[in-house]
Amino acid sequence: MYTSHLVNQLKPSATIAAAGKARELRAQGVNVLEFTLGEPDFTTPEHICEAARKAMADGHTHYTPATGLPVLKEAVCAAFERDYGVAYKPTEVTVSNGAKHAIHNVLTACCEPGDEVIIPTPYWVSYSALVELVGAVPVLVETTEESGFCMTEEQFRSAITDKTRLMMLNSPSNPTGAVYPVEALETLAKVAVEKNITVLSDEIYDKLIYDGYSFRSFASFGEDVKNNTIIVNGVSKAYAMTGWRIGWTIAPENVSAAITRLQSQQTSNPCSISQYAAVEALNGPQDCIADMLVQFQSRRDYVLGRLRKIPGLTFADPGGAFYAFFNVSHYFGKTLSGGVTVSNSTEFCTALLENAHVALVTGDAFGAPGYVRLSFATSMEVIEAGLNALEKFLG
Any contact of residue 37 with ligand GLU (CB under 6 A)?
A: yes
- Cα dihedral 362, 366, 372, 373, rounded to 10, equals -110
Q: Which is nearer to ligand PMP, 45 or 247 (CB)?
A: 247
- In whole angstroms, give the CA distance from residue 315 to residue 43: 30
- In whole angstroms, give the CA distance from residue 141 to residue 161: 13
Three state DSSP letters for 243-264: HHCCEEEECCHHHHHHHHHHHH
Any contact of residue 98 with ligand PMP (CB under 6 A)?
A: yes
The window from 109-117, 123-131, 163-171, 178-186 that contacts ligand GLU (CB under 6 A) reads 123-131
CB of 23 to ligand PMP, least distance (A): 17
Any contact of residue 15 with ligand GLU (CB under 6 A)?
A: yes
- In whole angstroms, give the CA distance from residue 364 to residue 356: 20
Any contact of residue 141 with ligand GLU (CB under 6 A)?
A: no
CB of 318 to ligand PMP, least distance (A): 13
Q: What value, to the nearest 5°, has the Cα angle with vertex 258 and ends 255 and 262? A: 140
How many residues touch ligand PMP under the rule CB under 6 A: the total is: 13
The window from 3-11, 37-45, 57-65, 296-304 that contacts ligand GLU (CB under 6 A) reads 37-45
CB of 367 to ligand GLU, least distance (A): 13
Mark residue 109 as left, alpha or beta (left: phi above 0; alpha: psi -120 to 50; beta: remaining).
alpha
Beta pairing class for 371-375 and 323-327: antiparallel
- In whole angstroms, give the CA distance from residue 305 to residue 237: 24
Over the window 251 to 270, marking each residue x when it contacts ligand PMP by CB under 6 A and - when it does not, the resulting string is --------------------
Any contact of residue 94 with ligand PMP (CB under 6 A)?
A: no
Of the candidate residues 34, 116, 202, 364, the single one contacting ligand PMP (CB under 6 A):
202
Of the candidate residues 159, 204, 336, 365, the single one contacting ligand PMP (CB under 6 A):
204
Q: Which is nearer to ligand PMP, 143 or 174 (CB)?
A: 174
Interaction with ligand PMP in 208-237: which residues (CB under 6 A)?
A: 234, 236
Sheet holding 116-121, edge to edge: 93-96, 247-250, 229-234, 198-202, 164-170, 116-121, 137-142
Alpha carbon 126 to its chain centroid, in Å, reads 9
Could you give the residue ranges of the DSSP H alpha helices within 12-62?
Answer: 14-27, 46-57
Any contact of residue 99 with ligand PMP (CB under 6 A)?
A: yes
- In whole angstroms, give the CA distance from residue 68 to residue 95: 5
CB of 107 to ligand GLU, least distance (A): 16
- Cα dihedral 273, 258, 194, 143, rounded to 10, equals 50
Is 321 within 8 Å of 38 (Cβ atoms)?
Answer: yes
> In this chain, which residue has its C-beta nearest to ligand PMP?
98
Any contact of residue 38 with ligand GLU (CB under 6 A)?
A: yes
The window from 79-87, 105-113, 122-130, 384-392 that contacts ligand GLU (CB under 6 A) reads 122-130
Is 250 within 8 Å of 92 (Cβ atoms)?
Answer: yes
Q: Which one of ligand GLU, ligand PMP, none interacts with residue 125, CB within 5 to 8 A by kind?
A: ligand GLU
Burial class (CB in 10 A: 0-12, 13-18, 19+), 55: buried
The window from 10-18, 157-165, 252-260, 282-290 that contacts ligand GLU (CB under 6 A) reads 10-18
Residues in contact with ligand GLU by the rule CB under 6 A: 13, 15-16, 37-39, 100, 124-126, 174
Residues in contact with ligand PMP by the rule CB under 6 A: 38, 98-100, 124, 170, 174, 202, 204, 234, 236, 242, 247
